[in-house]
Amino acid sequence: MDLKPTKPLSGFIELTPTQQRCFDVCANRMQNVLRGAGYNRIDLPAIERAEVLTDKDNWDEIETQMFLFQKADTKMGLRYDGTVGLSRYVAGHLNSLVFPFRAYQFARNYRGERPQRGRYREFYQMDIDILGIENLSENYDAEIVATLLRVYDSISEYVGGVCVKIGNRRFWNAMFEYLEMDEKQCRDSFILIDKRDKIKDFQDALAEIIGNDKAQIIEDVFAKGYKTFDGKSEKLSQAIAEMDEFMGILKSMGINNAEIDVSIMRGHSYYTGIVFEFFSTKFPELPAIGGGGRYENLASKFSKTKIVGVGASVGISRLLVSLMDENKIDLSEFEKNIDVAVLVMGKQNVQYAMSIVSKLRDNGIIAVPYLDTDKKFKNQIEYADKIGARFSMIIGDDENQKQIVALKNMESGNQDALTLEDAIKNIKVK
């Protein structure tokens, strides 16, 4: 019989136990920050009705982006982001949720596209949102950014620091209005500004759309600073004041790694105000490692109630898994996670050894017994070494009879005959 393949499908992630421990510690810290800021975890189904996931009918096209299937008469598929499910959930629980409602998701999403380097077909993403009915103060935009900075900070010892760049869609709307641009010009200029970093002759390209004079004025935003447009129109002044207030709140919270960068646009068309992107300062070669912004009418397809919000998402797998795969995270502290290997010499000592394992665990000590009792000492100590145990505890006839333990420090090699109480004290000193 042919053996089946042991590799996962391409684009799917499989971590080593050591990598997984790092991932889990990071995931836990990040979520603790969100719980500490009063966010409710929402754990939504991975499968949604096809009509919830998409408005399109052209399945051939959609299938390249999504995992879709049919059970009985129902077309369904795997979620591709956190927004669709959240919209449905909030619309369905309008009466039981308290608004402004704080939600976070830490969940797997799925993309049907052919996998590329660093692009996964199954990946963890963290979504955080604050939602209001009808309206929501812009002050929350600053709070969500401050909270996310704290989230990144909680794992900075592994992934390094971050900075955040803040843009404002309303600034550009005001600018385009001030320059009396038509709808097509606005749309095309928007796309150009979004890609400004990647375009060689930005100003020339812009001039082709809106003419030299106006292109020069937009270039001035970058060359002379957006603040020089204060007073040019009421809406421009308002948008600039909005950014000032935003930065003022961050400053009051002790944050100094945030800056205004009006070239930040975020592709999604649903953003309507402040937008922001997080960048790694340790790994500047990475694209944005998270971002979000203000949106209006999140759940218009599910409810007549207008739900306004500010939200952000962090590509957890994209950040952590790719860094781990490239050996850019020091995993040494995750390699050794066992305190004691309990080695048992002879089956007559199993019960005594297991009573000790139980007491070690009662004391919060990570204890792993080696229970193939007929294996030689050499093999048993090799096991203790391989699992990275800090200590091994050797239980033989002598220890059993005297009701003591032999505690061996795996680094120094020192071995002592001790009472269990004293052994526990030794183990607890890290």
167-206 binders of a second copy (CB under 8 A): none
Q: For a second copy, what does the binding mask look like between residues 35 and 54, x meaning CB under 8 A?
A: xxxx-xxxxxxxxxx-xx--
Count of Cβ atoms closer than 10 Å to residue 72 Cβ: 4
For the bound state, the minimum distance from the C-beta of residue 151 to a second copy, rounded and expressed in Å, comes to: 12
For the bound state, the minimum distance from the C-beta of residue 230 to a second copy, rounded and expressed in Å, comes to: 20
* Residue of the chain from 163, 306, 383, 418 that contacts a second copy (CB under 8 A): 383
For the bound state, the minimum distance from the C-beta of residue 31 to a second copy, rounded and expressed in Å, comes to: 9
At residue 86, the 3 state secondary structure works out as helix
For the bound state, the minimum distance from the C-beta of residue 270 to a second copy, rounded and expressed in Å, comes to: 16
At residue 231, the 3 state secondary structure works out as coil
Residue 219 CA to residue 297 CA, distance in Å, equals: 32
For the bound state, the minimum distance from the C-beta of residue 55 to a second copy, rounded and expressed in Å, comes to: 9
For the bound state, the minimum distance from the C-beta of residue 386 to a second copy, rounded and expressed in Å, comes to: 4
Q: Tell me the residue type at 395.
A: I
Q: What is the DSSP letter of 206?
A: H
* Residue 401 touches a second copy, criterion: CB under 8 A: no
For the bound state, the minimum distance from the C-beta of residue 395 to a second copy, rounded and expressed in Å, comes to: 12
- The DSSP code sequence of 246-304 is HHHHHHHTT--SEEE-TT---S-TTEEEEEEEEEESS-TTS--SEEEEEES-TTTTT-S
* Conformation bin of residue 132: beta by default, left when phi > 0, alpha when psi is -120 to 50: beta
* Span of 276-284, 354-362, 391-399, 415-423 interacting with a second copy by CB under 8 A: 354-362
Torsion of CA 108, 112, 117, 120, to 10 degrees: 10
* Residue 24 touches a second copy, criterion: CB under 8 A: yes
Inter-residue contact 239 to 171 (CB < 8 Å): yes
For the bound state, the minimum distance from the C-beta of residue 322 to a second copy, rounded and expressed in Å, comes to: 16
* Span of 226-234, 258-266, 296-304, 396-404 interacting with a second copy by CB under 8 A: 296-304
Q: Which of positions 314-353 make contact with a second copy (CB under 8 A)?
A: 337-338, 347, 350-352
For the bound state, the minimum distance from the C-beta of residue 92 to a second copy, rounded and expressed in Å, comes to: 3
The gap from C-alpha 25 to its chain's centroid, in whole angstroms, comes to 12
* Residue 156 touches a second copy, criterion: CB under 8 A: no
Inter-residue contact 97 to 117 (CB < 8 Å): no
Q: For a second copy, what does the binding mask look like between residues 246 and 285, x meaning CB under 8 A?
A: --xx-xxxx-------------------------------
State which residue, 221 or 356, has the beta carbon closest to a second copy.
356
* Residue of the chain from 146, 181, 312, 314 that contacts a second copy (CB under 8 A): 146
At residue 59, the 3 state secondary structure works out as helix
For the bound state, the minimum distance from the C-beta of residue 97 to a second copy, rounded and expressed in Å, comes to: 8
State which residue, 89 or 283, has the beta carbon closest to a second copy.
89
State which residue, 263 or 337, has the beta carbon closest to a second copy.
337
* Residue 225 touches a second copy, criterion: CB under 8 A: no
* Residue 25 touches a second copy, criterion: CB under 8 A: no
* Residue of the chain from 128, 136, 274, 423 that contacts a second copy (CB under 8 A): 136
Inter-residue contact 128 to 312 (CB < 8 Å): yes
Q: Which of positions 53-92 make contact with a second copy (CB under 8 A)?
A: 63, 67-69, 71-72, 74, 76, 88-89, 91-92
State which residue, 204 or 385, has the beta carbon closest to a second copy.
385
Inter-residue contact 421 to 428 (CB < 8 Å): no
* Residues in contact with 192: Cβ distance below 8 Å, sequence separation at least 6, in sequence order: 199, 202, 205, 206, 209
* Residue of the chain from 29, 108, 328, 336 that contacts a second copy (CB under 8 A): 108
Q: For 10-117, where are the E strands, in sequence order?
A: 40-41, 47-49, 68-71, 74-78, 101-110
Residue 357 CA to residue 365 CA, distance in Å, equals: 9
- CA-wise closest residue to 309 among 299, 317, 298, 319: 298
